[in-house]
Amino acid sequence: MEIFLISIGILLIIYIEIRLYKPRYVQSLQYHLKMERTRLIEGETGCILETITNKGLLLFPVINTTMEIAGKLEVEEENTTTLGSNRVIIARKSSLRWFQRATVPYTFLAKARGVHQIYCTGFYYTDALRFTYYEHHLRDHTEIIVYPKILPIDQILPIPLNLFGDHFVRRWIMEDYFFPSGVRDYVHGDNLRFVDWKKTARYNEMKTRTYDYTNSNEVIIVLNLQTTGSVGSHPELIEDIIRVGASLLYAAIREGFAIGLFANGGCIGYMEQTLVIPPSQNQPPEQLNECLARLRNFESQPFQYFLDAQQQWLGRDANIVMITGYMNEDIYGALLHVNATAQSLKIITLKEVAEEFQEGLSFYPAFVKGAQKDAE
């Protein structure tokens, strides 16, 4: 009789336990994804926080979670499965007693700029006696925005930019520290901030950097994402172009310029096909950095058409810095048209440009292997 009653009691406990763990009765399990920092710079390390909470009286549910992370975030975790180059799956099993919360950190390396999504793709749990598995629809996601890597300005511009055209400005007002023009001998009383220490070491005498003049505190940075004459692109070259643009943007922000940002490519999350942000003193630097992070690595419009469409901004006595890795006759003609009305136009090239396009234009090779060596 006692054995019978004990058996009935065990079966009753099992029945109640299984009933209590069914999804329609489970309201206490909660899941949340959170980033320690939602904004990083390319190459920095971040952390994802996965929080699971048992707010009820469930006894030791065994919880299995699956998280999907963008492949451009290199996760330092053992339980990972790589699906191609775009996704990394992390599976984890844990158990919580009642009224317990567990937070699991996942460290990752932001290998590439962009907007990266992180999803909870699966949430399963089993009852304390491990009889049945249930899927609980606790979906959550978060995202991280990775800004382009900032490079030292002297690495991008190891020698001064050449002037474009016969006249840099029409009225001399002040020296523009964003446009170095060369070096001269140090004179007593010069600001030590502008001493060129590399040239000083080379010539064994003090040298001071000199700068062009400007009558405007506005700078427009233009990125050419067109890298070929036909359909297709070179993503690595475009990433270099964006890094150089971000570095110049950072330098201009430190000098207090009103900055405009233009590119013949669209941004993730925005409806516009091209990036057009006119210069403004009230422009938040964070917005410019985020646009560079969201910028797609292919052109949405040929560069010559883009330049022609933006004449209202590029042709009103603007100071323009253009970064490109490609040139053809159509782009050359559009640049001549811009130069006719712009106050100044500087061109930074990231690879060899055909000789026929160098005549009449001042190109400057930057950010290519050997550029620093060639400059020296």
Provide the token pair at 23. 């999804």
| Cβ proximity of 149 and 366 under 8 Å | no
Q: What's at 367, amino acid-wise?
A: F
- As a whole number, mean pLDDT of residues 302-328 equals 86
Q: What's the rounded Cα separation, in Å, for the pair 339 and 325?
A: 19
Written as one letter, the residue type at 347 is: I
For 198, other C-beta atoms within 10 Å of its C-beta total 13
DSSP letters, 82-109, are: EETTTEEEEEEEEE--TTEEEEEEEEEE
pLDDT of 368 > 60? The answer is no
Contacts of 63 (CB under 8 A, 6+ apart): 29, 52, 93, 94, 95, 96, 123, 124, 125
Query: Identity (one letter) of the amino acid at 302?
Result: P
Return the percentage of the chain with pLDDT > 70, whole number: 71
- Contact in structure between 211 and 176 (CB atoms under 8 Å): yes
Q: State residue 355's pLDDT score.
A: 47
Helix (H), strand (E) at residue 194: none
Q: Answer for the pair 110, 144: CB distance below 8 angstroms, yes or no.
A: yes
Report whether pLDDT(91) > 50: yes
Number of neighbours of residue 40 by Cβ within 10 angstroms:
22
Reference 366, options 118, 213, 124, 180; nearest CA is: 180
Residue 35: pLDDT over 60: yes
Residue 364 has pLDDT above 60, yes or no: no
pLDDT tens, 234-257? 888 899 899 989 988 988 888 778
Contacts for 355-360: CB closer than 8 Å, 24+ residues apart: 357/327, 357/328, 357/329, 357/332, 360/336
pTM value is: 0.71
Where helices occur in 213-328 by DSSP H, the ranges are: 235-254, 285-294, 303-309, 311-314
> Distance (Å, rounded) from C-alpha 370 to C-alpha 357?
22
CATH 3.30.70, applies to 153-375: no
Provide the strand spans (E) within the chain: 29-35, 39-41, 45-54, 62-70, 73-75, 80-83, 87-95, 100-110, 114-126, 133-135, 141-147, 174-185, 207-214, 218-223, 258-263, 275-280, 319-324, 344-349, 363-365
Domain locations along the chain: 24-147, 153-375
pLDDT at 360 over 50: no
Task: Name the residue with higher pLDDT: 312 or 156.
Answer: 312
What's the whole-number mean pLDDT along residues 40-62? 81
Distance, in Å, from the CA atom of 27 to the CA atom of 22, rounded to the nearest integer, reads: 10
Angle (CA) 206 207 211, round 5°: 155
**267 pLDDT more than 50:** yes
Q: Nearest to residue 292, comparing CAs of 332, 339, 252?
A: 252
24-147 CATH: 2.60.40.10
Q: Higher-confidence residue: 229 or 67?
A: 67
Q: Please report the pLDDT score of residue 351 as a whole number.
A: 66
Structure tokens at 125: 């749990």
